[in-house]
Amino acid sequence: MDKIKLMDEGLANKIAAGEVVEKCVSVVKELVENSVDAGATEIKIEVKEAGIKMIKVTDNGSGMSKHDALLAFERHATSKLLDETDLFRIASLGFRGEALPSIAAVSEVELKTSTGDVGTKVVIKGGKLIKNEVSDARKGTIITVNNLFYNTPARLKYLNSYYTELANICEYVNKMALSYTEIKFTLISDDKVLLNTDGSGNLLKVIKEIYGSDVARKMRPISVFNDDYDVDGFISLPEVTRSSRNHMVTLVNKRVVKNVELNRAINDAYHTYKPETRYPIVVLNINTDPSLVDVNVHPSKLDIKFSNFEDLKELIRTGIKHVLDKNLLIPKIEQKPSQEERPKVKEQVLNLERANVIDDVTIDYSIFDEQTLEVNEDISNYNEANDDTIIENEAKNTEESKVVMPEMYPVGLAKGTYIICHNELGIYMIDQHAAKERINYEGYLKAFGNPNNSSIKMLVPLTLEFPSNEFIIIKKNIGVLKDMKFDIEENGINTFVIKEHPTWLKTGYEEESIKRILEVIIEQEKNFSIEKFREKAATMLSCKMAIKANMNISIKEMEALIDDLRKCNNPYTCPHGRPTTIFFSNYELEKMFKRAM
């Protein structure tokens, strides 16, 4: 008896839906991408109960004829690929022709669409056609998905919580708004507006809508290119970070993608500028010829493969470092206006503009109560204009030169830890331990990478014994130590003797430093590389050999420390990404003491 049979079409669609429609955001993604591909300039997304009860997407795109509206629900029906050659130059967001039939198989779908003539209404429930009738002639498409997974209870049971599903939808729509700044996106959840962009094409305005004005002011433009790739967008200053990588948004020809290697390259560019467990806010659009990338890797179309990938990663790393080098990265302490000051916002803004000092002031307008419509309009209009002005001024002022840490003059030490300095711009506080860490780090990194021939013999050779597994690891990499001018040899079972060491080891800490360097070699056992070893060893030694907190130093020592810090390539953070210096501007000081209102 024959055992193999053709699968029922409805069952096949439900199985296919498992690949395309994993959760509520999958539906939103497929419908929004269809709207973008249809040339829409306005897209409204409405959801109820995080999309489980309803997902409705309304656009003003090209719409569909009656024939196309029905054919769109057939598997592998698409207007975006005509032949096999198109598969290697994909320019549209969707192309497989699987989304609509997969969604319709596990929900109740109502489609209203028109090209501007006669409209069409199609209703499908569980993959079966229920209605096909004439509708209104509004150009564009409205598609409503009700009761998602109503006929696949197992899938419904394993959806994430309401808040997680809604957060996923918000994250996706935010990224689409960042990608297509010329499209007006509106996201409404249970009748509450969560996002509303203006579709003006201004990326900074979209960043402001998503992250707020404080973050927008601390974003900096980036634009780099090579023979294959053009990269542009905005990156945050190191002081603006988040706890997850989700805010590193990468777009390839405006397609939202997730690529682990690409995110690692972005994060590596911020190395030592921020803590390792924090991640920057970055929006990068990578423009390239479609033939150089492959988006047909996974049904979600989020993963992507690149040609000449190493060149792209290096381009991004060097581009970000170049932008960071052109900015003064000392965090500025800003005071929020008090409750009683808030009604005076409009007058203050006008006075600051007249006084021509607005560039020195940062006001967080999001904290003001809605006093009157008139005041709020002024705030909104001023805020949008000022955000753009700040970014443009930064780009003009920094030009191509590396920004140098300003001269500052120490006046004392607070709590045995913080050096108090001042100049004509305001007051600075320097963490003496973090500052010395940075100085040590760059010194050690240079010494490891470019060892000189200077070494010094130890009065008493240092003998160190290790467990057999650690002894083998050190022995395997002993050439690294000899290249650094350590005279190290085996001396019996599982034992090494060090007779000579490089001169740059700190006097009085030679034995501790040698032990720490050997510890780094042991820790790097599985993925040992010279670069990682130098980095880890320099970071570790810089911390151990730095001035400690609660250690009083003289004014001359403070001046020497500041002078050495100013000579560093990155004087703004310690190797762990913590700030070395913070700044109180003259205006902020006067505002705190009520000298400026």
Q: How would you label 127-159 residue by residue, b for 16+ Cβ within 10 Å and e otherwise?
A: beeeeeeebeeeebbbbbbbebbebbeebeeeb
- Nearest CA among 131, 144, 137 for reference residue 114: 137
Residue 83: is it exposed, middle or buried by C-beta count within 10 angstroms (0-12/13-18/19+)? exposed
148 and 21 in a common domain = yes
**Total number of domains in the chain:** 4
In the DSSP assignment, the letter for residue 402 is P
223 and 183 in a common domain = no
The CATH number linked to 312 is 3.30.230.10
- Mode of pairing for the β-strands spanning 184-189 and 119-125: unpaired
In a domain, 146, yes or no: yes
Provide φ and ψ at 326, rounded to 5°: -90, 5
Which amino acid, residue 104? A
In a domain, 588, yes or no: no
143 and 258 in a common domain = no
With beta carbons less than 8 A apart as the criterion, state whether 491 and 442 touch: no
The CATH number linked to 190 is 3.30.565.10
CA-CA distance, 62 to 84, in Å (whole number)? Answer: 25
Question: What pLDDT is stored for residue 375 in this prediction?
Answer: 33
Q: Give first-to-last CA distance, the chain, whole Å.
A: 91
User: What string of pLDDT tens digits covers the 597 residues of the chain?
Assistant: 555 666 565 555 555 554 567 789 989 998 999 899 889 999 999 999 999 999 999 999 999 988 888 888 886 555 544 544 544 444 456 444 577 888 888 899 999 999 988 899 999 998 888 989 988 888 999 999 999 988 888 777 778 888 889 999 999 999 999 999 999 999 999 999 999 999 999 999 999 999 988 899 999 999 999 999 999 999 999 999 999 898 999 999 888 888 889 999 999 999 999 998 899 999 999 999 888 887 755 555 567 888 899 999 999 999 999 999 888 888 887 766 555 554 444 444 444 344 443 333 333 333 333 333 333 333 344 444 455 555 445 544 444 567 788 999 999 999 989 999 999 999 999 999 999 999 999 988 888 877 677 888 988 899 999 998 889 988 888 888 888 888 999 988 899 999 999 888 878 888 888 888 888 888 876 667 778 888 888 888 888 788 877 788 999 999 999 999 999 999 999 999 999 999 999 988 988 888 876
Structural domain of 303: 218-325
The CATH number linked to 523 is 3.30.1370.100
What is the sign, positive or negative, of the torsion defined by CA atoms of 78, 79, 84, 87? negative
Which amino acid, residue 63? G
In a domain, 419, yes or no: no
In the sheet with 455-465, reading across from the earlier edge strand, the strands are 455-465, 495-502, 487-490
Q: Tell me how far CA of residue 565 lies from CA of 404, 413, 546, in angstroms.
A: 11, 17, 13
350 and 285 in a common domain = no
> Which conformational region is residue 510 in: left (phi greater than 0), alpha (psi within -120 to 50 degrees), or beta?
alpha
In a domain, 443, yes or no: no
In a domain, 464, yes or no: yes
316 and 190 in a common domain = no
In the DSSP assignment, the letter for residue 235 is E
In a domain, 346, yes or no: yes
Which of 135, 162, 196 is the last residue in one of the domains? 196
With beta carbons less than 8 A apart as the criterion, state whether 455 and 502 touch: yes
41 and 109 in a common domain = yes
Record the tokens describing residue 515, joined without a space.
């032990």
pTM exceeding the 0.85 threshold for the entire prediction:
no
Q: In degrees, to the nearest 5, what angle opens at C-alpha 327 toward C-alphas 322 and 329?
A: 115
160 and 58 in a common domain = yes
CA-CA distance, 75 to 537, in Å (whole number)? Answer: 57
In a domain, 404, yes or no: no
Record the tokens describing residue 460, joined without a space.
């008493």
Which amino acid, residue 473? I
Which amino acid, residue 431? D
CA-CA distance, 101 to 99, in Å (whole number)? Answer: 6
345 and 299 in a common domain = no
160 and 46 in a common domain = yes
In a domain, 531, yes or no: yes
Question: What pLDDT is stored for residue 513 in this prediction?
Answer: 86
Which of 360, 376, 395 is the last residue in one of the domains? 395
Record the tokens describing residue 319, joined without a space.
């581009």
CA-CA distance, 268 to 283, in Å (whole number)? Answer: 16
Record the tokens describing residue 402, joined without a space.
């590396």
Report how far Cα 338 is from the mean position of its chain's Cα atoms: 32
Residues in the chain: 597
Reported in sequence order, the residue ranges of 230-280 that DSSP labels E, i.e. its strands, are 230-236, 241-242, 248-252, 255-257, 279-280
59 and 164 in a common domain = yes
43 strand-pairing partners: 59, 185
Reported in sequence order, the residue ranges of 70-150 that DSSP labels E, i.e. its strands, are 108-114, 119-125, 128-135, 140-146
133 and 34 in a common domain = yes
Question: What pLDDT is stored for residue 521 in this prediction?
Answer: 87
With beta carbons less than 8 A apart as the criterion, state whether 538 and 445 touch: yes
278 and 182 in a common domain = no
CA-CA distance, 532 to 439, in Å (whole number)? Answer: 19
